[in-house]
Amino acid sequence: RPKHLYSIYRKMLAQGKTVDEMYDLMAIRIILDTKDNNDCFLAYGIVSEIYRPIPERFKNFISVPKKNGYQSLHTSVISGDGKPLEVQIRTRAMHDFAERGVAAHFRYKASTGSTASWVDASDLEEWATWVRDVFENAGDEAAQELLESFKLNLYQDEIYVFTPKGELRILPKGATPIDFAFDIHSQVGARCIGAKVNGKIVPLDHELTTGDQVSILTSKNQTPHRDWERIAVTHKAKTHIRRILNEERRALVSEGKDIWDKRAKKLGLHINDDELERLCVLAKLGGRTDMFVSLANGSMTPEAAGDMIRQLVAPAPAKTDAYPLLSAQQFRSAAREKNEGLVLRDPGASSSAKIMFSYARCCNPVPGDAVVGIVTIGSGIKVHRASCRNIADLQDKLQNRIVELDWASTSGGEFLAAIKITGDDRPGMLNEITSAVISVQKTNIRGVNIDAYDALFEGILTVYVVDLDHLQRIFDKLHSIRGVKSVERFEE
């Protein structure tokens, strides 16, 4: 078979060898027209009788195929003129597989009149199981990252190591005891605290070599560390480590949120998630989930977190003359004159007093919603959706302060709306959700907060819309995504 000068050069660089140390500058391939794999060993015996073999160069990929299904006998011999010569011995079926890939197996079966299936090919069945395992454990891994990981495990050199009972395990070159542990079972990998290689205790970042016998030491109290992902080489180990670490973080976030809620209630702080996120970023805590994790693992006390947030939300000194207390009649007139997207239904006398509108964060009204306003002291009108639970709960107490509102014919601007969405969790779901929202009038997304449990997810999207029709079109787009179960307005 031809050897290109550039491929020889690259192999010399990769292996750090000189030309004199390369045993495969010249190579021949012996292809046997037989169905019996044992004939390959018979051919090897004949070659060894004619030429002196180099024992350390013998590789049996027939009994122990590569992960990608490749089979062949490789050896090197000393030719008649004293130069090393590489010899590859394989059957016609093995050669077709090596040249054309897995499809060649079915082509070969069809040409012999047999039924092509996985049942009668244990080596191919093992290969297909490995490929399936790679993709099933991909989780939410980005497509490009998955492809790079797949190519790394498919094409790189392999090593052959053994369990204490002598079971063979094939791993990529550079694999560590962590990769070996996860190859045995995900639970063995998750609880790994150390390893013995050939009877000696080694660190978890120890690089395994062909022929090693590996024994994994476990503890039921052990969990993966963040640096394990850096140490691991195989896709399977990296994926399981990522999944376990994410599950642990979700548990810490939930525990930390409970701690924060109790502390906030004790301090009388009423802060929604968006505002808490902003305050945590302002306090250089990273975000509210980072604060929750710190509370759960004890690196931050509830008292310290409460004091920090309370200082950030401390109100400025009140200016008593900024917004004078008006009669209801003056208020209605002034609000109508200001006309910032809303008008009051009943008439009143004109007034030059300054009135301010603000939109309630609990229900986030948008143009098109039926709305009512609550007269507040110092904050003008607080606009709520008519169906807001807070209005219904306080209807009797707020009766004298509720005013009926209508949207002006030209409201203008953008309004914040919160959307609650639930459905079946799967890779790429978050990307499809955000893409669907953005595709409607190039909607601006303010925030996304999605949690996944088991095979389901639940999330809150906060978006900017111009009116109710805009919001409804976003609902329709989200409903069209495969796996989405419900889409509705979110109210705190």
pLDDT, mean over the chain:
77
pLDDT of residue 182: 93
Instruction: State which H helix or E strand residue 305 sits in.
Output: helix 302-312
Cα torsion 42, 47, 50, 51: sign = negative
- pLDDT for the residue 178: 94
Q: How many Cβ atoms are within 10 Å of 262's Cβ, its own excluded? A: 12
Q: Which CATH class is domain 415-489?
A: alpha beta
- Beta carbons of 368 and 303 less than 8 angstroms apart: no
Mean pLDDT within 80-101: 83
Q: Which two tokens stand for residue 60?
A: 């049996």
pLDDT at 229 over 90: no
Beta pairing partners, 214: 197
User: Cα–Cα distance between 113 and 241 in angstroms, integer?
Assistant: 46
Are 282 and 311 spatial neighbours (Cβ–Cβ below 8 Å)?
Answer: no
**Which of 173-182, 212-221, 445-454 has the least mean pLDDT?**
445-454
Per residue, the 3-state secondary structure of 393-460, as one string, reads HCCCCCHHHEEEEEECCCCCCCEEEEEEEEEECCCCHHHHHHHHHHCCCCCEEEEEEEEEECCEEEEE
Domains 5-111 and 137-238 share a fold: no
pLDDT 10s digits, 230-256 = 889 888 888 889 888 888 889 999 999
Percent of the chain with pLDDT over 90: 15
* Residue 189 reports pLDDT greater than 50: yes
Distance from C-alpha of 264 to C-alpha of 47, rounded to nearest angstrom: 82
Between 289 and 124, name the one with better pLDDT.
Answer: 289
Residue 355's pLDDT is 55
Confidence of residue 333 (pLDDT cuts 50, 70, 90): very low
Q: Tokens representing 191? A: 């609880």
CA angle (355, 358, 359) in 5-degree steps: 150
Q: Tell me, what's the pLDDT at 143? A: 52
- pLDDT the model gives residue 317: 47
Question: 324: pLDDT confidence band, cut at 50, 70 and 90?
Answer: very low
Q: Is 325 helix (H, G, I), strand (E, B) or coil?
A: coil
Q: Which residue has the tokens 């209605």?
A: 332
Beta strand ranges found along 304-410 (DSSP E) = 342-344, 357-359, 371-375, 381-385, 402-407
Average pLDDT over residues 22-32: 80
> What residues contact 394, with CB distance under 8 A and at least 6 apart?
none
CA distance 484 to 492: 22
Conformational region of residue 166, where left means phi above 0, alpha means psi within -120 to 50, and beta covers everything else:
left
Question: Of all residues in the chain, what percent carry a pLDDT higher than 70?
Answer: 74
Structure tokens of 45?
Answer: 């015996």
pLDDT at residue 30 is higher than 90: yes
pLDDT at position 276 is 86
Interval 345-350 mean pLDDT: 44
pLDDT digits (tens, 9 = 90+) for 149-162: 555 545 457 788 88
Dihedral (CA of 73, 77, 80, 83) sign: positive
Strand partners, 372: 384, 404
**With 50 as the cut, is the pLDDT of residue 95 above it?**
yes
**Residue range 480-490, pLDDT digits in tens:** 998 899 999 98
Highest mean pLDDT: which range of 264-268, 370-374, 394-398, 475-479: 475-479
- Per the CB < 8 A criterion, the answer to whether 127 and 104 are in contact is no
Among the ranges given (37-41, 47-51, 122-126, 472-476), the one the predictor scored with the smallest mean pLDDT: 122-126
* Spatial distance between the Cα atoms of 492 and 274, rounded to a whole number of angstroms: 12
pLDDT at 125: 57
Angle at 177 (CA atoms; ends 171, 178), nearest 5 degrees:
90
- The Cα–Cα gap between 387 and 389 comes to 6
Q: CATH second-level architecture of 137-238? A: Roll (3.10)
Give yes or no for residue 164 having a pLDDT over 80.
yes
* Residue with the larger pLDDT of the pair 63 and 99: 63
Closest CA relative to residue 151, chosen from 175, 134, 129, 174: 134
Domain boundaries, the chain: 5-111, 137-238, 243-312, 328-407, 415-489
CATH class given for the domain over 5-111: alpha beta
Q: Kind and range of the H or E element at 487?
A: strand 484-489
